[in-house]
Structure 1
Amino acid sequence: MLLTTLALALVAALPAALTAPEPAQARPQSPPRAPTGTTARLTRTADDLTLTVPPSRSAPGYRLQVTTGQLSFTTLRSGGTVLATASGDTGALRFRTAGTWHHATRVTGHAWKDGTLTLTADTTAPGATIEARVTPSADRYQLRWRVIGATPERLGLACDLSSAGHWYGHGETQTPNGGPATDQPWPLDSGEVVHPAFGPASYYMIDPFWYTSRATGLHVDTGQVMDVSLNEGQDGLGRFDIESAEPYRATVFVESTPLDVYRDYVDLVGRPAKSDATYRQYAEPVWNSWAQFYTHVDQAKLLDYAQDLHDHGITGHALQLDDKWESDYGNMTFDPKAYPDPKAMSDTIHALGFDFGLWVTLWINLDSDQYRYAADHGYLLKDAADPAEPCTVTWWNGTAGIVDLGNPEARAWYEGRLRTLMDTYGVDGLKFDTRFFDERCAPHEGYRPTDYQRLGAELADEYDLQGVGIRVHWDTAAHRAGFVTRQLDKGTGWNSLRASVTQNLAISTIGYPFVATDMIGGSSLQPAPAKEVLVRWAQSAALMPLMYSSTSPVDTVDPTTGRPVVYDEETVALYREAIARHQRLAPYIWDQVQHSLRTGDPIMRPLFFDFPEDRDTYTIGDEWMLGPAVLAAPQLADASSRSVHLPPGTWYDVAHQRTVAGGRTLTSYATPLGTTPVFVRLGAEGADKALRALR
């Protein structure tokens, strides 16, 4: 009773309105780097070699046991296994040559010198051996290995998933159950991940980093395409194969908590140097035309859309015209039939209180009047098989060439056209879509395929992306650019809503903290979202760093029938209420943005990042922490109640205006359509601002 009284008194004492802080950037501060020195020692028995790394002030210490009968690696901490490679016919270190997989067998020699353990091993391939080097440091070890006596097509590392507990990371997943549009397993081992084209040019938001509930992590250092599978066919294995004969390079982290592993990884790849989004872009949603109209959009429809939102008091910082507005893809000119006066359209949108944005791409279709010009001037990426010809790629809007950002003249030409477009029509920001490179193309002289992630990030960084996000990844420039990250298109059903949550947890914990879901309500040319899905999605997004909207709660069009869908007044009111809640949370969220700039920590994160001792949190994918003080548990299913797990601590239940003790699960928590379970952790940093916003 005393705690409840104090909490209510605190809430009552807070002012009803909170002035938004100035959107000044926090000055990033370098976090302490993980120690690299180690006093590791090697011991040997008849069956294994063991590297022992003692604990230090900032690392727990570990042992790496190398089995010599058939080469395998087992990592132990505090006497228990925290990661083990596969054994048997799969093999730990594996390679494919002439279409057949082989693996390392008996260790034939070893040397311990200058802090590196060098191993040689036979293999199942006649005449082929493996040389591996293990270099331990205080909180990780590096594994480098290669095949001698054969030319492999692929090199691979295989792990026993259960040895490390549960698995996370990866980013957006390809799965047999429709991932990422409708399925994003959390943890990864709870489903199946089958991702054969996992690489730096992928349209997926991915990084070659995985971490586990037993506080280990794996980073594969490669610029090549990988074939990744986790629990494929429920086999309990993780396979991390590289399509290359180059030496395999990986780092295994060994820490005390998953958050420590995440911080090690961010220390390796870099944290955001700034936030690309402004305070207003965090506080208000961006509205984008895609899911509302898809390509069936024109000037009249867009203005009616903007007017409807305005007249119903549905706020937003920007309204973006998505695909399709060009006369042909790559022309960068408005289709005059659909947009008779684009400058007047822009002026009207501004008058309604929105910034105006446009969708753009580096892909120029073959039927565009700019394609021949770009090809003749050498502005397009060349074909990998025939460098004398431009590379052509097929995408959802036809066949195209890609502007070569590695060519300074091509980039200058492309950017000049962008600036002319923006200046002529009063465009405030851009939504960059498609990819900056394709594996079928050859990089510009002096560049590698992975460089195009950096080049794309540098290009996009010159323009206001209006908080709508971009998908660049795999490169330190992508991590440091501080872009908002948007997900791949989702469906419009409950499964996609749930996938949008677990996908944000995955993306934000591979080093991209400024996350938004796909457009609220989903897209993917599926039937328009039901009222309940649209409202629940908005309520969920309101408790994330940013809101990304498209389907209007006033009315929309069902793309499968072409018929209008009109939502009722309750839909409008509840959507408006979700936006208002997010706006009130903006000062608290902005504080978390500044914290991420200082530390690299994710804003939206799994419960176990904050409560690693609470074992129940490791399989929860429908709750999350928004910073250190807010626990979000929105309804993500077609149900009138749900269970809510509260980790240890004292929590303020916003919906019921009461204080409750944590360390337990609240069963049958009622969730009528107007109720979103959200809790504030009393005493946590930022709890006062969170209470002020949510109460």
Structure 2
Amino acid sequence: MKFTDGFWHARPGVAIHYAREVDRIAADASQLRAIAPTKVVEKRGDTLNLPVLTTTVDAPMENVVRVRHTHHKGKPEPRRLQLDTTDGVGKATVEDGVATFVSGELSVQLAVGKTWEMSFRARGRQLTRSGGKSAAWADVAPGAAVDHGPIQLERDGRTSYMFDQLDLGVGELVYGLGERFGPVVKNGQTVDIWNYDGGTSSEQAYKNVPFYLTNAGYGVLVNDPGHVSFEVGSEAVERVQFSVPGETLEYYVIYGPDPKTILERYTALTGRPAEIPAWTYGLWLSTSFTTDYDEATVSSFIDGMAQRDIPLSLFHFDCFWMREFNWCDFEWDERVFPDPEGMLARLHERGLRVCVWINPYIAQQSPLFDEGMAAGYLVRNRDGSVWQWDRWQAGMALVDFTNPEATAWYKDKLRVLVRQGVDAFKTDFGERIPVDVEYFDGSDPERMHNYYTHLYNQAVHEVLAEERGVGEAVLFARSASAGGQQFPVHWGGDSTASYASMAETLRGGLSLAFSGFGYWSHDIGGFEMTPDAGVFKRWTAFGLFSSHSRMHGSGSYRVPWMFGEDESLPTSAVAVTRKFARLKNRLAPYLVEAGAEAHRTGTPIMRPMLMEFPDDPAVPHLDRQYMLGRDLLVAPVFSAEGDVDLYLPGGEWVGLLTGERVTGGRWLRENHDFDSLPVYVRPGAVIALGADEERPDGDHLDGLTLLVHTSDENGWSRTVEVRGTDGEPVTFTVRRDGDNVVAESTLTAGWALEVVGGGRADASAGTAGVTA
């Protein structure tokens, strides 16, 4: 939120008390503690009637520092994010009034004197700093000329905020802050960290994360699960400001120097994306939302896909698998699904997995409402009654996940479904969480608004991990907060069936990738409205070159033959879906390896260009193309005419679909028919391609092809891993030896080496060679 009226003045009704100087600094072995008066102290009398900020600096891990500004410390400590931290990591020293705190390569410096300046440095350069008029406590009067953002409750008396500002250098760009659908570069924006059910076409977001990183080599996490307001080069154009209500602000500065390393350290704090099984990478098909369907409808869709040779990995049942007005009771509507156990068994016999839609709301008509109310499992009003409203479901209430018994009760309802044969849950909603309520554990409801979805998704993920196994737990989640990446997969919410919405959806995915989320999906064809055939086909190509791929809509089905199936046309919707669904199954070994990297390091599968090419000055603003894993560049087509502009970084690239060699370091303008899009293989790439086009979870080693596009540099080498059916990785090392490309592995047969644009050799003896 904005506190100032230009550079010189506070807004009417706002008193801003900036840290003006450093009066004293104390240090122990692993912490600095500074006292900062909010005016320059010239004489003893100046110390009276004066707010003072206390700042502590320590480290939760190497190359990360924690800064904590406190005005009054007598209030109860608010809920913080769940972070994995270690005490006593850094080293603090004070010499001649200059304090230095060091954590790995990152250091913080403060000096006693008549100015406030806290500088963050690494490798001999300043990353950023909190300078004059940066760290502050703001005292806001009722009726002040400020916008409190999403929190517009009447407050008792004055309202306190804490904020800090960190400098932006010339050319420094800011990324992240959750899944946001505007420009991927956040400079000039005001961002409220507050989950909304707002669709993809507004400034609101389902997944709000109080973390950003910059192209200057560092990231910042504000450790507060509630409303955090960011002014990104907006209120103060030279700075990023972040503010929270209350008396304490805590944030972490995370050194990189590159985006991947920043995310690796950020996800070490907040949690890494869980591993997910290979079957999730295939095509998912949904009943859609408000459409009519029963088992016969479901079977007709599955039969239709099989008859048209379109491979399908999972079928999703949206809301109306339960009876209307009963959401959620977790009971199949017997009028349309009289034999759920038999139906699920029949779907499994066809090689399909099953996902069902749920949410954390309990409608008044659900039998669970009375059960939950009697046991105290539902969120309550301040007078002790159950909180309810009629938006979404009549008389619905919220499960109180701060109550361990309520969480166990909810999880037990889901266990019944898992034991029936359900493989995954679409954890919808979780954003419209009230703040005028009370929680079982006494949590501040403002801080629970965003954090509620974390507890919700965590509970559901735990059920699947406990029932199916850790590596088999899969969600399809819409809402999230910091740390939510631990419970994948996430999808982009309610888009519309248009090219503009397709582009904004991609921007949301890239923004989420910068926020530490490893896997991401979206509704192929758009959710609202019915797409025309062009939008559906372009979105299908984009969707099947995404981490995860689901066809889903609102009031109409998304089976491809409804958008054209002339078998004489390679550009019909059926032909386009068949082509890219089968190709994606072949890419499953490559995607599984990228997913394993996400789990190990936090590097997402779908990567903004900056993440792979941080030193290329042409890529920082690009948000209409991305890297899928390390080695594939994808540029979706956002027009019916097929025109697309894209940038290739330096080196020689090769079209995956065309085999064409193209020199990079320049912009290209291409035109693609509906059965194509720009997909380029990076120089130095090794891509594991499976032989099975029918499913993504077969034996990836049987008929494996290593698609190689070598570097021109002699001595070039790459190592990749491919997992067999037992889940154990097999290592392949590919290297250039003069004019030859040689691949080696302990696997003695059943794989081949293919150099893009060159020859091919079998690898029956465990070593393959081919002339480049």
TM-score w.r.t. length of structure 2: 0.67
Structure 1 position 144, deviation (Å)? 1.9
| Match of residue 526 from structure 2 | 522
| Match of residue 504 from structure 2 | 499
1:120 aligns with 2:36: yes
SS at match of 2:365: coil
Structure 1 position 198, deviation (Å)? 5.3
Q: CA separation in 2, counterparts of 1:234 and 1:110?
A: 28
1:366 aligns with 2:280: no
Q: Structure 1 residues 566 and 108 mapped into 2: Cα distance closer, same or farther (>3 Å)?
A: closer
| Match of residue 260 from structure 2 | 259
SS at match of 2:396: strand
- Any unmatched runs of 5+ in structure 1? 1-85, 174-182, 559-563
| Match of residue 169 from structure 1 | 176
Aligned partner letter, 1:613 = D
| Match of residue 51 from structure 2 | 129
SS at match of 1:324: helix
- 1:532-681 aligned at under 5 Å gives the runs 532-550=534-552, 556=556, 566-569=563-566, 570-666=572-668, 668-681=669-682
- 1:333 corresponds, among 325, 331, 349, to 331
Question: Does the CA-based 8 Å contact 2:3-2:14 persist in structure 1?
Answer: no
Q: CA separation in 1, counterparts of 2:10 and 2:662?
A: 55
Structure 1 position 286, deviation (Å)? 1.6
| Match of residue 739 from structure 2 | none
- 1:80-479 aligned at under 5 Å gives the runs 89=5, 100=14, 102-104=16-18, 106-107=20-21, 109-111=23-25, 113-114=27-28, 116=32, 118-122=34-38, 127=49, 129-133=51-55, 135=57, 139-147=63-71, 152-158=159-165, 163=170, 165-173=172-180, 183-189=181-187, 192-195=189-192, 197=194, 204-230=206-232, 238-243=240-245, 245-272=246-273, 274-275=274-275, 277-282=276-281, 284-290=282-288, 293-294=289-290, 296-327=292-323, 328-383=326-381, 385-386=382-383, 388-393=384-389, 395-424=391-420, 426-435=421-430, 438-445=434-441, 449=448, 450=451, 453-454=454-455, 456-463=457-464, 467=474, 469-471=476-478, 473-474=480-481, 476=483, 478-479=484-485
Q: CA separation in 2, counterparts of 1:694 and 1:440?
A: 61
Q: CA separation in 2, counterparts of 1:693 and 1:319?
A: 37
SS at match of 1:507: helix
Q: CA separation in 1, counterparts of 2:429 and 2:581?
A: 29
Aligned partner letter, 1:131 = L
Aligned partner letter, 1:489 = D
Aligned partner letter, 1:145 = H
Q: Structure 1 residues 601 and 537 mapped into 2: Cα distance closer, same or farther (>3 Å)?
A: same
Q: CA separation in 1, counterparts of 2:258 and 2:6?
A: 29
Q: CA separation in 2, counterparts of 1:394 and 1:101?
A: 40
Structure 1 position 347, deviation (Å)? 4.6
Structure 1 position 594, deviation (Å)? 1.8
Question: Percent identical across equivalent pairs?
Answer: 22
Q: Structure 1 residues 158 and 488 mapped into 2: Cα distance closer, same or farther (>3 Å)?
A: farther
Structure 1 position 188, deviation (Å)? 1.9
Q: Structure 1 residues 390 and 694 mapped into 2: Cα distance closer, same or farther (>3 Å)?
A: farther
SS at match of 2:463: coil
Q: Structure 1 residues 600 and 641 mapped into 2: Cα distance closer, same or farther (>3 Å)?
A: same
Q: CA separation in 2, counterparts of 1:377 and 1:422?
A: 24
Aligned partner letter, 1:429 = A
Q: CA separation in 1, counterparts of 2:236 and 2:10?
A: 22
| Match of residue 96 from structure 2 | none
Q: Structure 1 residues 110 and 604 mapped into 2: Cα distance closer, same or farther (>3 Å)?
A: same
Structure 1 position 674, deviation (Å)? 1.9
Q: CA separation in 2, counterparts of 1:637 and 1:474?
A: 33
Aligned partner letter, 1:165 = E
| Match of residue 178 from structure 1 | none
Structure 1 position 410, deviation (Å)? 2.8
Aligned partner letter, 2:21 = V
Q: CA separation in 1, counterparts of 2:38 and 2:362?
A: 51
SS at match of 1:399: coil
Q: Structure 1 residues 186 and 530 mapped into 2: Cα distance closer, same or farther (>3 Å)?
A: same
| Match of residue 515 from structure 2 | 510
Q: Structure 1 residues 447 and 247 mapped into 2: Cα distance closer, same or farther (>3 Å)?
A: closer
C-alpha deviations, 1:486-519, integer Å up to 9, x for none? 2222111112211222222121222221222x21
SS at match of 1:462: helix
SS at match of 1:256: coil
Q: CA separation in 1, counterparts of 2:255 and 2:7?
A: 22
Structure 1 position 618, deviation (Å)? 0.4
Q: CA separation in 2, counterparts of 1:690 and 1:193?
A: 44
Q: CA separation in 2, counterparts of 1:225 and 1:95?
A: 21
Q: Structure 1 residues 428 and 140 mapped into 2: Cα distance closer, same or farther (>3 Å)?
A: closer
Q: Structure 1 residues 584 and 196 mapped into 2: Cα distance closer, same or farther (>3 Å)?
A: closer
Question: Does the CA-based 8 Å contact 2:287-2:557 persist in structure 1?
Answer: no
Question: Does the CA-based 8 Å contact 1:329-1:363 persist in structure 2?
Answer: yes
Q: CA separation in 2, counterparts of 1:501 and 1:281?
A: 20
Q: CA separation in 2, counterparts of 1:389 and 1:123?
A: 48
Question: Does the CA-based 8 Å contact 1:326-1:335 persist in structure 2?
Answer: yes
Answer 1 or 2: higher relative contact order, Cα 8 Å, separation at least 6.
Answer: 1
Aligned partner letter, 1:346 = L
Structure 1 position 574, deviation (Å)? 0.4
Q: CA separation in 2, counterparts of 1:512 and 1:439?
A: 27
Q: CA separation in 2, counterparts of 1:163 and 1:296?
A: 56
Aligned partner letter, 1:361 = N
TM-score w.r.t. length of structure 1: 0.73
Question: Does the CA-based 8 Å contact 2:263-2:602 persist in structure 1?
Answer: no
Q: CA separation in 2, counterparts of 1:141 and 1:678?
A: 40
- Any unmatched runs of 5+ in structure 2? 41-47, 73-136, 140-157, 198-203, 567-571, 689-704, 709-753, 758-772
Q: CA separation in 2, counterparts of 1:298 and 1:247?
A: 54
Q: CA separation in 1, counterparts of 2:621 and 2:295?
A: 47
SS at match of 1:500: helix
Q: Structure 1 residues 332 and 247 mapped into 2: Cα distance closer, same or farther (>3 Å)?
A: same
C-alpha deviations, 1:372-394, integer Å up to 9, x for none? 222012121222x23x2222255
Question: Does the CA-based 8 Å contact 1:331-1:364 persist in structure 2?
Answer: yes
Q: Structure 1 residues 458 and 95 mapped into 2: Cα distance closer, same or farther (>3 Å)?
A: farther
Over aligned residue pairs, what C-alpha RMSD do you find?
3.8
Q: CA separation in 1, counterparts of 2:27 and 2:543?
A: 53
Q: CA separation in 1, counterparts of 2:171 and 2:57?
A: 21
Q: CA separation in 1, counterparts of 2:7 and 2:294?
A: 58
Structure 1 position 550, deviation (Å)? 2.4
Q: Structure 1 residues 452 and 538 mapped into 2: Cα distance closer, same or farther (>3 Å)?
A: closer
| Match of residue 763 from structure 2 | none
Question: Does the CA-based 8 Å contact 1:641-1:670 persist in structure 2?
Answer: yes
Q: CA separation in 2, counterparts of 1:343 and 1:297?
A: 17
Q: CA separation in 2, counterparts of 1:260 and 1:419?
A: 38
Question: Does the CA-based 8 Å contact 2:229-2:243 persist in structure 1?
Answer: yes
Q: How many residues align?
A: 575
